Structure 1
């Protein structure tokens, strides 16, 4: 697989996504829900067959699929740390928050640019008396420095995204936040959802070896729903989340229960919940194999994404549309953006609807229209999408 083969029509990958009809549709929702490769269906069916054959004994096979997902996550992070799996990032975030001593350190630091699962939960905690400090996300170039400056001895945790979900801006210098947290005894949680599958994220090289990392496969990784994770830092071994399910006892069930103290499994399972649908892990494991077979590494996908963003930006700039209607941040190089092109609009929701009526799938967040390419789209498809945008803005 090489970049030239993906630029052509038909795109060299498109045939592998035939059930999502990616060659027939203009799906610029790659930052929100990428199409699944056809092999995902094999994983779905294998989950059914194992359940039909083994009934309740299916969990042995399911655990192997879960471990394959963990191995895939570790590879993406270039890290060998423990991985907790969850249906969504919110449940993992809640378990994390329940494991830190918020009574003794009742202060959480975050930004005003976090995704809704964190934004809403932290806002609700603030209503209950937890001090929540929201640092302005813009400008992204100085965000890490500004976050580090407000960490103090009362701070339980800092929660920040590696990539801002509204604008696709990469947040540089998170190692400075990690150092501030380390010196003050606070935890750092990095939301990597908009980074995974877009560019390499080697934790230790980035100075994030002590960080907790949240992420999932619903977006760029093409794993579908139910495939989220929490990477645990080495010092997490002694933490005991208050919000806990019985799967967090696995490995200890044979022991004599202690009536006075809840016990936890080792590793990532100490942050586990309870019974879940393992179909998601079958699907994810099969898709991760497919991505490895096709050479869809973070490094290669970064090259693809940068090309596609460059094409979209260039064709958009050529339209020379009124900035009062729609514009983009031309003052920042595309290398500082992740997986989508964010266009600030007078009526982002209206443009999204107008594009949908012309067969172009996008989405909007507040004042931003988000155009999310994916590796199975050809250059011609991206140009058609911008041509449709021109008619909507005429």
Structure 2
């Protein structure tokens, strides 16, 4: 059985879904899990939470495996924004009113940081280009007034991997600065070991909406060991669960471990879905190394098929200087006509997306080589219509 046959509801064999960097299809077992969540609620009513928490722990175990950190404390959230906000609310921005980030962060961080800047927090945005020196330049921007660094391990617009984040971690450690790494565009396409990457003291945020095929509502924040010292201002009543840390009289107490950064009541259906999909990945042998192998092949095939089109660089081009392993899981094309090309591709049945001048093609493990080359051939046809005489 081909992998595509496990995705009958999304009809991946019949559609050219090059949106794998944004929203991968869900395997059929995800639908079965959603029905199981309903049935558990109907059977047990409010007692369903014991069953639901088992699925939440399966998700945490999956995150630990992806990070190569089997003992990690992992807080869960419905989206990365709420987790980032809880993290930011735990910082002492009065005594360290400075945040360092880049000009290439995803909107959940970008918008929040921009609003904090309006409110008087100093926000330093380091230019992502050239990416080869980005970590070095971030590290140089960190000082003893910096509360935190917020940086992605793979940039969401260009798919470029950010090398040398261990240097940022070292700069943060020497100044008492927190480091938050957004690994959303890494997990599921590029293996990550926090110890090998020098990020054992980092906070790591990510989610399952993209490459992991877990769908919405499955985001997570990995807490470093010293998280026990922080008290997030934005805190839900779930943070009172479990073993509470000692707190002075008249102050709010927090749970130890991952519940310290917990929120409140949520829809557990997402965790049922995550647990089943994680098991499905294991059954299919879709381990991080295997997923990387597939990703390198598919992205390389797309790049080669694009080059074979021979389109003028003035219309559309790509980064040919960075080696293949310097990218995450999608191919970015640079074009002033990104939105027009995306719309034209969609009319021809090829679903991609665009961000400003970036036209993004995101493959996925269930797509065949023929589907990828067909999609790129359609790009050649629609691009020809935009050329003089087209």
TM-score computed with the length of structure 2 as normaliser: 0.96
SS of the residue aligned with 1:84? strand
* 2:277 alignment partner in structure 1: 287
Match of 1:99 among 54, 79, 90: 90
Match of 2:38 in 1: 48
Q: 1: CA distance between counterparts of 2:130 and 2:17? A: 30
Match of 1:8 in 2: none
Count of aligned residue pairs for this structure pair: 383
Taking the aligned partners of 1:45 and 1:139, their CA distance within structure 2 comes to 48
The structure 1 residue matched to 2:198, chosen from 207, 211, 219, is 207
- Contact 2:317 2:335 survives alignment (8 Å): yes
Match of 1:120 in 2: 111
- Structure 2 residue aligned with 1:384: 374
Structural mapping, 1:174-185, within 5 Å? 174-185=165-176
Aligned residue for 1:18, secondary structure, equals: coil
Equivalences for 1:68-147 in 2 at 5 Å? Answer: 68-79=58-69, 80-147=71-138
Aligned match of 1:367: 357
Q: Which residue of 2 aligns with 1:337?
A: 327
**Separation in structure 2 between the aligned mates of residue 215 and residue 95 of structure 1, nearest angstrom:** 14
Measured in 1, the distance between the counterparts of 2:249 and 2:49 equals 28
Name the Cα RMSD after superposition. Answer: 1.4
Equivalent in the alignment of 1:300: 290
Q: Report how far residue 256 of structure 1 moved.
A: 12
Q: Which residue of the partner structure matches residue 252 of structure 2?
A: 262
Which runs of 5 or more structure 2 residues have no equivalent in the other structure?
Answer: 385-390
Indicate the larger mover: 259-268 or 339-348.
259-268
Distance 2:312 2:205 in 1: 39
Distance 2:230 2:120 in 1: 23
Gaps of 5+ in 1: 1-10
What's the counterpart of residue 388 of structure 2?
A: none
Q: Give the TM-score taking structure 1 as reference length.
A: 0.95
Q: Distance in 1 between matches of 2:377 and 2:2?
A: 23
| Cα deviation 1:183-223 (Å, max 9, x = unaligned) | 00000000000000001100011100000000000000000
Alpha-carbon deviation of 1:238? Answer: 2.0
The 4+ residue runs of structure 1 with deviation greater than 4 A are 255-259
Cα deviation 1:153-200 (Å, max 9, x = unaligned): 000000000000000000001000000000000000000000000011
- SS of aligned partner of 1:156: strand
Task: Supply the distance in 1 between the matched residues of 2:243 and 2:265 (Cα, whole angstroms).
Answer: 17
